[in-house]
Amino acid sequence: MNAKQDIHLAIVGCGRIGTLRGRLAAMHPAVRSIVVMDTDAAAADKLARTIGASFCTTELAAAISRPEINAIIVSSSEHEHTTPVIAALRRQVPVLVEKPIALTVADADLMLRTVQELGGNLRVGYSRRYKTRYLLAKEQLRQGRLGTITGACARLYNSRAQCLAMLGRNPHATPVVDALTYYVDLMGWLLEGNPVTEVFARGQKGVIQAAGYDTDDVTWAVLTCRDGAVVNLGVSYALPEKWPSVGHAARVELLGTDGVLLINDDHTDQIMHTNAGFPHVYLPGQKVETVFLESSTSGDWALGDFLGPLADETRAWLDELATGKPCNLATPQDARNTLAVTLAIEESARTGRVVDVCRAD
């Protein structure tokens, strides 16, 4: 890649994903310097040392007001996106924020209004858009090979250990709002121009409730799109702790008037068993003996490089800033509407009623 513009990046939030973004950015040819910020000094310091950051702080303003900064990544916890995103947008530089954009529609709308008022550039990291099999699906739809989509489904499984880690960060970061959200975004992207208008869902409680959270073990939803297409989405983050997938295990199906596309994303095609234990990328301290390789949601380290959706997504965003080559990341409108659908699924499962989805266009 021939970089046209040098990037001086600030990373806000130096946890798991901020660290990954920081390490990936440090390898990008256009990135000249990186400033790191986290309210937890130890987390900021650790990432600063790992990537040789030029500045490290616990103060948001001290990081983003530095004159050289011309791009900001917000990788703080789900409920801590709004304040840094709005401050970053006011700094008038491109901003990448992790999914979900927020945990309430009011916060998402505040960000959207700020983008609109300032003409800001905000993108949201829904890394399924950078998984090869889903990019290929998008291409088939663009080429019209499936005809008109009449129905679709996606179901997502993961272990209860991952669910408890998410809920421990914030009890509102539920499997629907924090994980099924990827597949709501994916369907919105694949079925572009045919948004979800109505949601019906049911759920059942079990082990997650027994662990102290008012959250379903299983949620199944039927979504109706504007033209009447029906989409079935389901999630269970309550599989046994040592379930061999160390991230999303999914299946996605698209049904059209001229074709059908079935995507097995369970990763059962590469199975390893090791007495040494395979480290869980997301859960430090947890090891599984049987593992579905390539099932880590963000990707995997191999031979000193990081391979997978989060790597390709981070590079694509940085490439756009450096060279102008357009990236595929979700817009704030996409992310706000995705959040509204996930909250509608939870409301429907809770009340038993059909819920209309209120969109922002």
Which residue, 181 or 225, is less far from ligand NAD as judged by CB?
A: 181
Shortest spacing between CB 210 and ligand NAD, in angstroms: 24
**How far apart, in whole angstroms, are the C-alpha atoms of residue 257 and residue 260?**
8
Which residue, 83 or 92, is less far from ligand NAD as judged by CB?
A: 83
Is residue 88 within 8 A of residue 61, CB to CB? The reply is no
**How far apart, in whole angstroms, are the C-alpha atoms of residue 117 and residue 335?**
18
Shortest spacing between CB 354 and ligand NAD, in angstroms: 28
- Which residues in the 122-161 window bind ligand NAD by CB under 6 A? 125, 127
Backbone phi, then psi, for 313, in 5-degree steps? Answer: -65, -45
Shortest spacing between CB 351 and ligand NAD, in angstroms: 26
Q: Does 22 bind ligand NAD (CB under 6 A)?
A: no
Cα dihedral value 202, 204, 209, 215, nearest 10? -20
Cβ neighbours of 284 (radius 10 Å): 9
Q: Does 14 bind ligand NAD (CB under 6 A)?
A: yes
Identity of the amino acid at 167: L
Q: Does 120 bind ligand NAD (CB under 6 A)?
A: no
Which residue, 102 or 222, is less far from ligand NAD as judged by CB?
A: 102
Is residue 295 within 8 A of residue 249, CB to CB? The reply is yes
- Which residues in the 30-89 window bind ligand NAD by CB under 6 A? 37-40, 43, 75-78, 80, 84
- Which residues in the 152-211 window bind ligand NAD by CB under 6 A? 169, 178
**How far apart, in whole angstroms, are the C-alpha atoms of residue 106 and residue 113?**
10
Q: Would the CA dihedral through 301, 303, 309, 314 be positive or negative? A: positive
- Which residues in the 226-255 window bind ligand NAD by CB under 6 A? none
Shortest spacing between CB 333 and ligand NAD, in angstroms: 18
Which residue, 166 or 201, is less far from ligand NAD as judged by CB?
A: 166
**How far apart, in whole angstroms, are the C-alpha atoms of residue 206 and residue 217?**
6
Q: Of 141, 149, 91, 125, which Cα lies nearest the Cα of 314? A: 125
Which residue, 76 or 295, is less far from ligand NAD as judged by CB?
A: 76
Element (H, E) at 218: strand 218-225
Backbone phi, then psi, for 71, in 5-degree steps? Answer: -165, 145
Shortest spacing between CB 169 and ligand NAD, in angstroms: 5
Which residue, 229 or 338, is less far from ligand NAD as judged by CB?
A: 338
Is residue 112 within 8 A of residue 360, CB to CB? The reply is yes
First to last CA, the chain: 35
- Which residues in the 266-305 window bind ligand NAD by CB under 6 A? 297-298
Residue nearest ligand NAD, Cβ-based = 15
Shortest spacing between CB 307 and ligand NAD, in angstroms: 13
The one among 9, 10, 11, 12 contacting ligand NAD by CB under 6 A? 12
Q: Of 191, 221, 189, which Cα lies nearest the Cα of 203? A: 221
Q: Does 17 bind ligand NAD (CB under 6 A)?
A: yes
Q: Which residues bind ligand NAD (CB under 6 A)?
A: 12-18, 37-40, 43, 75-78, 80, 84, 98-99, 125, 127, 169, 178, 297-298, 310
